[in-house]
Amino acid sequence: MRPFTAPALLLAAVLSACAGAGPTTTPAPVAPTAGAVSSPQWAEDMARFAAEDARNPPPAHPIVFTGSSSVRMWQTLAEDFPDRPVLNRGFGGSQLRDATWYADEVATRYRPRQVMLYAGDNDIDAGRPPQRVLADFRAFVARIRRDLPRVPIAYIAIKPSPARFDQLPAQREANALVKAEAARMDGVDFIDVATPMLDADGRPRAELFGDDHLHMNARGYALWREIVAPYLR
């Protein structure tokens, strides 16, 4: 049997090499995902939004503002943009991935004409790196586009604040990454509220913030109104 063993093994090797020499198939790209929510407490906010919708139906095809507390605490939103059908669906303390997880509850169900997002501030504070903020931003856009392929989206830059001044380098990096990514996307704007909130020395302007040095006061929101208004559709 030995005279036939070597040729047989050689033939098997040649056939195997030929099979491996064929064209390779490139794996299909995997849609970005943001992962699970940062806290189960957001379910209460979603229930509150549903109750508000039942009591007072929102406007048809609104401009939805969503994200963390800087949106939630924008109590003058409707007054600031009286000629626009705006809807506030911010939930304080949330991260960018939370807006993705609850995209239906805070955005797509309203069939909005535009989605405005402020998130990433709490992500950096929680230790999530700028590259993760970028990935979560991509996931948010992909999630909105899944249901609303043509709706305009705008990302409001992570704001600097006195309370988180030590995080400013990471905030700037995250903003730069998101800005560059938004520029490559169709129908996605990056709104730079961060630069005008810094003084001549590059420090957050204290007069724009409340007593906690984190959340904005009326002057802060007045500044945001001026910056955001040209982007509304």
Give the domain ranges of the chain. 53-231
Query: CB neighbours (10 Å) of residue 135?
Result: 20
What does the pLDDT average to over 32-53? 88
Query: Residue 15's pLDDT is what?
Result: 40
Read off the pLDDT of residues 197-232 as tens digits, 9 standing for 90 and up: 999 999 999 999 999 999 999 999 999 999 999 999
Grade residue 154 by pLDDT with cuts at 50, 70 and 90: very high
CATH topology for 53-231 is Rossmann fold (3.40.50)
Residue 94, pLDDT > 70, answer yes
The pLDDT score that the predictor gives to residue 36 is 83
Taking only the tens place, the pLDDT of each residue in 47-79 is: 999 999 999 999 999 999 999 999 999 999 999
